Amino acid sequence: MARAPYRILDASPHGLRIAWRTEAISAEALSSLGLSRAGAAAVLSSGRLTREGIVLASATSLTPGDVLELAFEPVAPASLDASIPAATLLWVDPLGLALAADKPANLLVHGDGTGQITLSQQVAAAMVQRGIAGAPQALQRLDKDTSGVVLFSLHPEFQPAFDGLVASHDPSRLSKRYFALVEGTMARPEAVDVPIGRDRHNARRMYAGAGKEARSLFEPLGTLTLASGACATAVSVTITTGRRHQIRVHAAALGHPVVGDLLYGAAPVSGGLMLHSWQETLVHPVSGQRFQVEAAVPSRFPEEARRLAESAKK
């Protein structure tokens, strides 16, 4: 990775202090930090980029050694609703630009108009409790019945940088590893490169064999016997694309649907869908630092499955 033209000196709830390394103008500097053209224009027009207390214009020249101060867009503090439980935060970005939360099963990430409490609301509650500034916006989605890691951005200026990270599907920048139980015995690793599209006959389902490219790698970790007496395989799943229901559709296409996935042909079990967003490794789009985030496999999985997951940690 090429050396960034800047170095982040420090961060506060109000903004960043940045040491500049090259010849540039202010607008180019903001673009290098990952701001969109509109975001950079908003920062400059509101006087939120300064050098030694002097507000910088779009075409102001910068030289190596300049120290810039970038103030975040002011965000009204969220009110704390005592009826909304705080999310479990797995990671908080040292720069204050992002965080990761642990989503329980049976919880929506975003509202669907029904008034149900969402993970986004729980993250906002956790931020109020911990004094974390910003307005959380989910960068990823998980199905309601899937648990685990979900990334959020916290400041609108840097949303495009994190959106670009998630959309890149570049495993050197962002990699995701899921833990799942699938029906039957999966004897060897299975690489699935099968496109996924919408099922024309059932709006709730996706279809394997047509649509957008989708790639998943299933790696068996061991077998176990479910409470029903049926055999299941614990698998680690890595994906390099992010299609709706991707792991569920690919697992079913292999003849090993995810345990509890009634939509794709699995038998009902207690505990629901046995799919968990387990580990995520990201290269921060602003600082360039690498972080690994992990959500422990929850207790709704059988104890033997959790033991297999613990043994397979990377």
Catalytic residue IDs? 143
Helix (H, G, I), strand (E, B) or coil at 2: coil
**Residue 111 C-alpha from the chain's centroid:** 17
C-alpha distances (whole Å) from 148 to each of 138, 142, 151, 280, 309 are 13, 8, 10, 10, 14
Helix (H, G, I), strand (E, B) or coil at 281: strand
In 34-156, beta strands by DSSP E: 49-51, 54-55, 61-62, 67-71, 88-92, 98-103, 137-138, 147-153
164, with CB counted inside 10 A (0-12, 13-18, 19+), is middle
d(Cα 128, Cα 281) in Å, to the nearest integer? 26
C-alpha distances (whole Å) from 123 to each of 77, 84, 138, 179, 297 are 13, 10, 10, 23, 20
Residue 222, token pair as written in the block: 């061991």
42 CB-near residues (< 8 Å, 6+ apart): 73, 157
The residue type found at 107 is L
228 CB-near residues (< 8 Å, 6+ apart): 267, 269
**Residue 278 C-alpha from the chain's centroid:** 11
d(Cα 191, Cα 37) in Å, to the nearest integer? 39
